[in-house]
Amino acid sequence: MYEIVVIGAGVAGLSAAIEASRMGASVLVVEKKKEIGSPLKCGGFIPKPHELPLLPNIKDVLKYPDEVVINTITTQRIIAPNGTSKEFKVDGDVVDRRAFDQHLASVAISQGTEIWLSSTFLSLTKKGVVVRRGGEREEVEADVVVGADGAYSKVGREAGLLKDYNENDVSSCKLEVVEGGEIEEDVLEMYFSSQFSPGGYGWVIPHSERKANIGVGVRPPSTNVGKKLRMFKNKSPASERIAKSQPIATGGGNVPVGLPPKTCSGNVLLAGDSASHVLSTSGSGIPLAMLSGKLAGMCGVEFVSEGKPLCRYDKMWRKEMMMAIERTYKIRKMCDRLMSSDVRLNLMIKVLTPTQMKAIMQGKFLLLDKV
């Protein structure tokens, strides 16, 4: 019997656990993987809070120790299919996602959270959840269940909050951490192409001059995303510099880039990717997962200990993040038509100024926000 049971030990789930256990609740985190943060399924790029103007309170949660930072980024470059590019200043960190998630887990544990690894959430019951652990089905009682189990959330579907995604509202990604090649240490690159990254982009996120996280995201989700990554490495404007690099790790995953569903039903809350808390222009989800996870943990405890309505969580995260999510979603929808043709992509990257590009990434509307 726990007050709060969290499904998923990613950024959202661990942020929820940290907040709930800090407030004195009994907390269990259930994670299907045997090691937190592994295998890798993230680029690890985190813009500094001042680069996220539509998330004004993100600075209160976007905190992590220097030990998890691998590199700092000063420039973001946007590359058109024809190889021309524009760039703008950006202030951000590249984090080691495994170390990042393990740091969150150790904070949660130090505050009293219990974490079950190699344990899979199976279903919701009236009293809590059913989990498969060590080959056995176990019933766990919970006052509140936080679904932080990522894209295609099983908790969300069990609670009737999540239905199938519109196929254009989820991106499938494949990544490699590579060594060798010629990497610009402080430049994050985004390569656009209807060939190797339809509906998404290819990225080079540097770890150092000789090491980077590279990958592609495509929409609608596709099983041949591995082939697209090979095309990105061998037949793109990035090829000259990365074709000969060697993979030392591989990974991938799905990014939900649609509008969030309702995130509260009965005693269940959804946070992070399970609730599509992602900026659609970049696929960035770490800052939002930290914020929504913290709010879910807090609302869960205030429901249990003070009887406050649990579903105020839905209103609270919308107040903090909905503008950023909705704006980046609308911009992404507007750009979808342009992204289906290299000619249009070349033209768009030619006519936009670097300042306008940065504003679009951030979710600003060019005319409305007078960029």
Ligand X SMILES: Cc1cc2nc3c(=O)[nH]c(=O)nc-3n(C[C@H](O)[C@H](O)[C@H](O)COP(=O)(O)OP(=O)(O)OC[C@H]3O[C@@H](n4cnc5c(N)ncnc54)[C@H](O)[C@@H]3O)c2cc1C
Choose, by CB under 6 A, the member of 54, 140, 242, 278 that binds ligand X.
Answer: 278
Give 69's contacts (C-beta < 8 A, 6+ positions apart): 93, 94, 95, 96
The residues pairing with 46 across neighbouring beta strands, listed in sequence order, are 93
CA distance 84 to 80: 5
> Quick one: residue 92, left, alpha or beta (phi over 0 = left, psi -120 to 50 = alpha)?
beta
Helices marked H in the chain — which ranges?
11-22, 97-110, 154-158, 225-234, 239-242, 286-306, 312-339, 342-351, 354-362
Identify residues 283-322 at the interface with ligand X (CB under 6 A).
283-286, 289
Choose, by CB under 6 A, the member of 252, 261, 297, 300 that binds ligand X.
Answer: 252
> Is residue 255 involved in binding ligand X (CB under 6 A)?
yes
**Smallest separation, CB 83 to ligand X (Å):** 23
> Is residue 30 involved in binding ligand X (CB under 6 A)?
yes
**Smallest separation, CB 288 to ligand X (Å):** 7
Cis peptide before 220 (omega within 30 of 0): yes
**Smallest separation, CB 256 to ligand X (Å):** 8
> Is residue 6 involved in binding ligand X (CB under 6 A)?
no
> Is residue 154 involved in binding ligand X (CB under 6 A)?
yes
> Is residue 228 involved in binding ligand X (CB under 6 A)?
no
Q: Which is nearer to ligand X, 33 or 312 (CB)?
A: 33
Q: Which is nearer to ligand X, 275 or 357 (CB)?
A: 275
Q: At what angle do helices 312-339 and 342-351 cross, to 10 degrees?
A: 110
> Is residue 11 involved in binding ligand X (CB under 6 A)?
yes
Locate 362 and state its tokens. 């951030």
**Smallest separation, CB 29 to ligand X (Å):** 9
**Smallest separation, CB 350 to ligand X (Å):** 26
Closest residue by Cα to residue 144 from 277, 9, 275, 16: 16
Q: Which is nearer to ligand X, 202 or 237 (CB)?
A: 202
Locate 337 and state its tokens. 């038509």
Choose, by CB under 6 A, the member of 10, 81, 92, 181 that binds ligand X.
Answer: 10
Choose, by CB under 6 A, the member of 3, 5, 13, 331 that binds ligand X.
Answer: 13
Identify residues 111-150 at the interface with ligand X (CB under 6 A).
120-121, 148-150
**Smallest separation, CB 346 to ligand X (Å):** 25
Helices marked H in 58-175 — which ranges?
97-110, 154-158
The 3-state DSSP composition of the chain as helix, strand, coil percent (nearest 5) reads 35, 30, 35
Identify residues 49-108 at the interface with ligand X (CB under 6 A).
none
Choose, by CB under 6 A, the member of 49, 81, 199, 215 that binds ligand X.
Answer: 215
Tally helices (H) and strands (E) across the chain.
9, 16
> Is residue 190 involved in binding ligand X (CB under 6 A)?
no
β-strand pairing of 69-79 with 85-95: antiparallel
**Smallest separation, CB 45 to ligand X (Å):** 4
Count, residues near ligand X per rule CB under 6 A: 38
CA angle 125, 34, 207 (to 5 degrees): 125
Question: Which one of 242-250, 281-289, 316-324, 350-358 is the stretch in contact with ligand X (CB under 6 A)?
Answer: 281-289
Choose, by CB under 6 A, the member of 32, 103, 228, 233 that binds ligand X.
Answer: 32
Q: Which is nearer to ligand X, 202 or 253 (CB)?
A: 253
CA distance 246 to 233: 11
CA distance 16 to 31: 14
Q: Contact positions toward ligand X, by CB under 6 A?
A: 7-13, 30-33, 41-46, 120-121, 148-150, 154, 173, 175, 215, 252-253, 255, 272-274, 278, 283-286, 289
